[in-house]
Structure 1
Amino acid sequence: MKRVSVLFISILILLGMLAGCSGSAGGPQEESSGDSSAQKGKITLNFWTFWGSETRRPVIEKIINDFNQSQDDIYVKHTFLPFGDIWTKNLAAISAGNPPDVIINDINSVQHRAKNNQSTNLSEYIKDDSFKDNFYPRLWDTVLYKNEPYAVPFNTDTRLLFYNKKAFKEAGLDPNKPPKTWDELEAYAKKLDKKSGDRYERIGFYPLWGSFGPPSWLMNADNGKGFLSKDNEVQINTPEKLEGLKWLKSWNDRIGAENVNAFKAEFGSEQSNPFIAGKVGMWVDVATFYTQIRDFGKDMDFGVAPMPAKTSDARHWSDGGGFVAEIPKGAKHPKESFEFIKYLTGEQAQTYWASKNFDNVANKKASEDALSKLSGNDKMVYKEAVDNLQVTTMNPVPADAPDYQNKINPLIDAVLLGKEKPENALKKAQSKVEQSLKK
Structure 2
Amino acid sequence: MRKWLVSVIVLVLVLGLGLAEARTTITMWHTWGAGTQRDKVVRTIVEAFEKAHPDIKVDVVPNTGANSAEARQKYMVAAAAGVPPDVAILGGLDLEWIENGLIQPLTSFFKRDGLDKNYFFPGTWEAMSYNGDQWAPPVSLELTTQMMAINIDMFSEAGLDANQPPETVYDLETANRKLTIIDDSGKIKRVGMFPFSIYGEWNAFNQWAARFGAVFAVETPNGPRWNINTPETRAALNWLNNWYQNVGHGNYQSTDVYRMRNNTSAQLAYGASAMVLWLNGYNQGMTNYERPVNYRVVWLPYHPSINKTDGIRVSGGFGLTMSAATKYPEAAWEFIKFWIQSDEVAMIWGVDMGELTIKRNNPYMRVMLENREHYGTFVEYTAFAQGPLPSVPGYSVLTSTTTSLLQQVYQGRMSPAVALETIQERMDAEVEAYYK
TM-score > 0.5 by shorter chain: yes
CA contact 1:46–1:101 (8 Å) conserved in 2: yes
Of the structure 1 ranges 110-119 and 310-319, higher mean CA displacement relative to structure 2 is found in 310-319
Match of 2:158 among 167, 171, 187: 171
- Write the deviation string for residues 373-428 of structure 1: whole angstroms up to 9, x where unpaired: 45754x54233223223247745642477634445444444333322322333234
Aligned to 1:219: 210
Contact map agreement 1:205 1:280 (CA 8 A) in 2: yes
Q: Which residue of 1 aligns with 2:171?
A: 184
Cα distance change on mapping 1:201 and 1:318 into 2, 3 Å:
farther
Whether 1:43 and 2:24 are equivalent positions in the alignment is yes
Q: Structure 1 residues 398, 247: CA separation in 2 closer, same or farther (over 3 Å shift)?
A: same
Q: Is the 8 A contact 1:39 1:75 kept in 2?
A: no
- Secondary structure of the residue aligned to 1:364 is coil
1:354 aligns with 2:360: no
Question: How do residues 11-30 of structure 1 correspond to structure 2 at under 5 angstroms?
Answer: none
2-structure distance, mates of 1:289, 1:396: 27
1:403 aligns with 2:363: no
- Give the distance between the partners of 1:232 and 1:70, measured in 2 at CA: 42
Match of 2:420 in 1: 426
Cα deviation, 1:56-115, whole Å, max 9, x if unaligned, reads 4443333222322323542222232347253232222212211111111212x4223212
SS at 1:77's partner residue? strand
Q: Deviations for 1:344-396, whole angstroms, at most 9, x for unmatched residues?
A: 11142224322332113222222xx203245754x542332232232477456
Provide the rounded CA distance (Å) in 1 between the counterparts of 2:229 and 2:204: 17
> For residues 243 and 167 of structure 1, do their structure 2 counterparts lie closer, same or farther at Cα, with a shift above 3 Å needed?
same
CA shift in 2, pair 1:99/1:419, >3 Å: same
CA distance in 2, matches of 1:263, 1:395: 35
Unaligned runs of 5+ in 1: 1-34
What fraction of aligned residue pairs are identical, expressed as a percent?
21
Pick from 220, 242, 248 the counterpart of residue 240 of structure 2.
248
C-alpha displacement at 1:330, in angstroms?
A: 1.7
Q: What are the equivalent positions in structure 2 for 1:12-411 lying under 5 Å apart? A: 39-49=20-30, 50=32, 52-53=34-35, 55-82=37-64, 84=67, 85-107=70-92, 109-128=93-112, 130-158=115-143, 159-197=146-184, 198-210=186-198, 212-222=203-213, 225-229=215-219, 232-254=224-246, 255-260=248-253, 262-264=255-257, 266-267=259-260, 273-296=266-289, 298-311=291-304, 314-316=307-309, 317=311, 320=315, 322-348=317-343, 349-366=345-362, 369-374=363-368, 377=371, 379-389=372-382, 390-391=384-385, 394-395=388-389, 397-399=391-393, 403-411=397-405
Residues 4-56 of structure 1 show CA distances to partners (whole Å, capped at 9, x for unaligned) of xxxxxxxxxxxxxxxxxxxxxxxxxxxxxxx9997441111112222644644
Q: Which amino acid aligns with 1:214?
A: F
Is contact 2:264-2:276 (8 Å) kept? no
- The residue aligned with 1:6 is none
What is the deviation of 1:172?
A: 0.8
Does the 8 Å CA contact 1:180/1:312 hold for their aligned counterparts? no
Q: CA deviation at 1:258?
A: 2.7
Q: Give the aligned residue type for 1:138.
A: G
Q: CA deviation at 1:233?
A: 4.0
Assess, with a 3 A threshold, how the Cα gap between structure 1 residues 265 and 194 changes in structure 2: closer, same or farther: closer
Q: Secondary structure at the match of 2:300?
A: coil
Counterpart residue type for residue 427 of structure 2 = V
Does 57-66 or 333-342 show the bigger shift?
A: 57-66
Partner Cα separation in structure 1 for residue 84 and residue 33 of structure 2: 18
1:321 and 1:124 map into 2 onto residues whose CA distance is 20
- Number of matched pairs: 400
The residue that corresponds to 1:25 in the other structure is none
- Higher mean C-alpha displacement, 38-47 vs 335-344: 38-47
What's the secondary structure of 2:51's corresponding residue?
helix
Q: 1:168·1:174 contact (CA, 8 Å) conserved in 2? A: yes
Q: C-alpha distance in 2, partners of 1:253/1:342?
A: 50
Whole-Å Cα distance in 1 between the matches of residues 319 and 154 of structure 2?
Answer: 39
Report what 1:11 is aligned to: none
Q: Distance in 2 between matches of 1:39 and 1:185?
A: 62
Note closer, same or farther for the CA distance 1:314–1:268 as it changes in structure 2 (3 Å cut): closer
RMSD of aligned Cα (Å): 3.1
Paired amino acid for 1:204: G
Q: Deviation of residue 145 (structure 1)?
A: 2.9
Alpha-carbon distance in structure 1 between the residues aligned to 2:414 and 2:263 = 36
Matched AA of 1:289: Y
Which shows bigger deviation, 98-107 or 70-79? 70-79
Q: Residue 360 of structure 1 contacts residue 386 of structure 1 at CA under 8 Å; is this kept in 2?
A: no
CA distance in 1, matches of 2:283, 2:305: 27
More deviation in 145-154 or 176-185? 145-154
Distance 1:203 1:337 in 2: 49
Shift of 1:119: 1.5
Cα deviation, residue 271, structure 1? 11
| Amino acid in the other structure paired with 1:335 | E
How far apart in 2 are the matches of 1:93 and 1:329? Answer: 12
Shift of 1:328: 2.4
CA distance in 2, matches of 1:372, 1:407: 41
Residues 1:266 and 1:238: Cα distance change in structure 2 (over 3 Å): closer
Query: Which residue of 389, 410, 413 maps to 1:416?
Result: 410
Distance in 2 (alpha carbons) for counterparts of 1:438 and 1:268: 35
Return the letter of the residue paired with 1:217: W
